Chain A
């Protein structure tokens, strides 16, 4: 068996994994999801998903990664073929490997098609902070103007993708650890200072809108919203847990594949989860949403409210908009009505802050943080230019380190599975990223559609994790592997959680949202991109398994066994 590199220290690996997991998912995507899904209504399934899905699936992926590493694999297709082989004949196991590999490949590409844009936005806002471009402006309108300037969006995104390709070309340890060691602690320190600042900020614009209202929105369980939108909120929460922990993408398996066969995975999994959750819930949850609340009146305008609820007239009717206007689907007519009655509308929104925040979340999608945060830097005067630039630069690095891990996974896939030279592989992925990233610039709504699909596919792949790496690998084997060299004993009561509760929790949102997502949310460009990536992923996985295990597939008998 081919000798692979191994991690020098466990803490180095944990920091690298946390560096990979801590990124824009915490500071950009999490607040967006909270705002879009009813605040406290989102947090309830979020914590349920963390405990019943996030932690178990993290263990499963560490176990699978280390197991694949024993056979010299760092990618999902061949690893899951090997695990499925424990219960199935090689030819049947092949299909499980192909589907898993296909899901991981397509997910990583689809996710990066827009994730790299978020990193590009951070680069742009670093520049805008230095130049003071958004100072004295409505930050919502400024963000929309930026997005409509395609040349500018492409410039910052292009710089990001080129720098990424250069960084990945340098190799695993050099490429990742060097960046993480410097930028991670800096980001944590700055974020902690920001949280402190947010807590004491109070009501900087309007006494009716304070940062504390934002915290109240996040931490007050909203049962009625949860009841009315159960499947959608559950999917958003599970999707966010997998997104933020970098689960369901093959990346954790790839990192864990560089572990020795007797290296701990149980405690390491918990450490990775907790470091990320600190960044997400404590830091990420205490910045963008409270700031969006405090600066609400500087972000919204009648147009924004009209756009946010164009397809949900019931919200407009509740605000007092006549039914014929609210249901007209005419954004200009709704906006005109709102402008004429803006005082009353603001009064309503002051009493229903959750609806106001939902409006910002719906309209800007993943741009939520980019509309709320700049306000706090504006309030600092000229010092805000420096702090704004520093914050967005750190965000850029956080996203960049996560993107390095995903990029590495795709390059490893080409290198290990298809014997494509690392340098050539780096540029192949670069071209894939360029092609898949273009629709985000030119097709309105594409980014948020693909993001919604990513939540779905992350959940689907997590279900495959359990089917293959637990059930087909055999639960007793999994449990034994989990405790091999473990520095903690996983309580026995986690076994039924992994075997029964987790699959049910994954199936509920998948079944509840599939029809709406595929039939209504996704439009053709997004559907086509998903189908193409599935096909490429399936072909790649098939060849990678066939190349190494061709003989045993032909005989339909297990030959290679470590």
Chain B
């Protein structure tokens, strides 16, 4: 295995992390907003 595997895994990890973080935060914020509204 060459260094390309590492590059691929890093890119995948960054994308996963960004997706997980943003969606999670979005859902939490929306929930909090709804709770505040009700």
A contact residues vs B (CB 8 Å cutoff) = 9-11, 14, 40, 43, 47, 215-216, 218-221, 264, 267-268, 270-271, 273-275, 277-278, 281-282, 487-488
The 9 closest A-B pairs by CB, nearest first: A219-B4, A274-B19, A271-B22, A274-B18, A487-B29, A219-B8, A220-B4, A270-B22, A219-B7
B9-26 residues with Cβ-Cβ distance < 8 A to A are 11-12, 15-16, 18-19, 22-23, 25-26
B22 contacts A274, C-beta separation under 8 Å: yes
Chain A interface helix/strand/loop/mixed: helix
Closest to B27 in A: A11
Residues of B within 8 A of A40 (CB): 4
Q: How far is the CB of B8 from chain A (nearest CB, A)?
A: 4
Any A CB within 8 A of the CB of B37: no
A268 contacts B26, C-beta separation under 8 Å: yes
A282 contacts B12, C-beta separation under 8 Å: yes
Closest to B28 in A: A487
A216 contacts B11, C-beta separation under 8 Å: no
Selected from B5, B12, B16, B25, the residue in CB contact (under 8 A) with A267 is: B25
Q: How far is the CB of B38 from chain A (nearest CB, A)?
A: 14
B29 contacts A275, C-beta separation under 8 Å: no
A220 contacts B2, C-beta separation under 8 Å: yes
**Number of A-B contacts defined by CB within 8 Å:** 65
Asked, given contacts A274-B18, A274-B19, A282-B12, whether A216 binds B26 with beta carbons under 8 Å apart, the answer is: no
Selected from A43, A218, A267, the residue in CB contact (under 8 A) with B26 is: A267
With A and B bound together, what is the CA distance between A271 and B30 in angstroms? Answer: 13
B18 contacts A215, C-beta separation under 8 Å: no
> How many residues belonging to B are interface residues under a CB distance threshold of 8 Å?
19
With A and B bound together, what is the CA distance between A271 and B5 in angstroms? Answer: 26
A281 contacts B7, C-beta separation under 8 Å: no
Residues of A within 8 A of B29 (CB): 10, 264, 267, 487
A277 contacts B2, C-beta separation under 8 Å: no
B contact residues vs A (CB 8 Å cutoff) = 2-5, 7-8, 11-12, 15-16, 18-19, 22-23, 25-27, 29-30
Q: List 10 A-B contacts (CB under 8 A).
A: A11-B27, A14-B23, A43-B11, A219-B11, A267-B22, A271-B19, A274-B22, A278-B16, A281-B12, A487-B26
Residues of B within 8 A of A264 (CB): 26, 29
Q: Can you add 5 more A-B contacts, CB < 8 Å, to A220-B2, A271-B22, A271-B23?
A: A14-B23, A220-B3, A264-B29, A274-B18, A274-B23
Closest to B19 in A: A274
With A and B bound together, what is the CA distance between A218 and B27 in angstroms? Answer: 34
Residues of A within 8 A of B7 (CB): 219-221
Selected from B11, B12, B30, the residue in CB contact (under 8 A) with A9 is: B30
With A and B bound together, what is the CA distance between A264 and B33 in angstroms? Answer: 11
B26 contacts A278, C-beta separation under 8 Å: no
Q: How far is the CB of B11 from chain A (nearest CB, A)?
A: 6
Asked, given contacts A11-B30, A40-B4, whether A488 binds B25 with beta carbons under 8 Å apart, the answer is: yes
A277 contacts B15, C-beta separation under 8 Å: yes
Residues of B within 8 A of A9 (CB): 30
